[in-house]
Structure 1
């Protein structure tokens, strides 16, 4: 049986509690469900990516057909593939 999570006065108290306690004693992670917080603005990190010019031109062509910036289309393609790969495991 899991221990009961205590009531916290504020976020600092809760943060301190979880820094010193094992969550598996309080939660059954086998029953956890994966969710996404679609309304949160994700933090981003700028990277440099080298692509063959022909691939970049084809990406821009596809993006133009969908009326979206090519960087956005690339992120969509990457997100779909990551989800597929993680779902397969």
Structure 2
């Protein structure tokens, strides 16, 4: 298994978006440790975020 890189800190959401457009998350996150999440009480929104 490859050694994971340190997750960078982002100043803005735009900076983070730009970073992930050109980087692979598997270099930073161990997806084999991920757990399934359920948001059963989440309701659809009509408001744009």
TM-score, reference length from structure 2: 0.71
In the alignment of these two chains, the number of paired residues is 43
Q: Equivalent residue for 1:8?
A: 10
Q: Return the offset for 1:38.
A: 3.7
CA, structure 1 residues 12+38, in 2 after alignment: closer, same or farther (shift >3 Å)? farther
Where does structure 1 lack aligned partners over 5 or more consecutive residues? 44-89
Where does structure 2 lack aligned partners over 5 or more consecutive residues? none
Report which structure shows greater RCO (CA 8 Å, sep ≥6).
2
Aligned-pair Cα RMSD in Å: 1.8
Q: Equivalent residue for 2:24?
A: 22
Between structure 1 and structure 2, the one with the greater Rg is 1
Specify which structure has the higher proportion of helix.
Answer: 1
TM-score, reference length from structure 1: 0.42
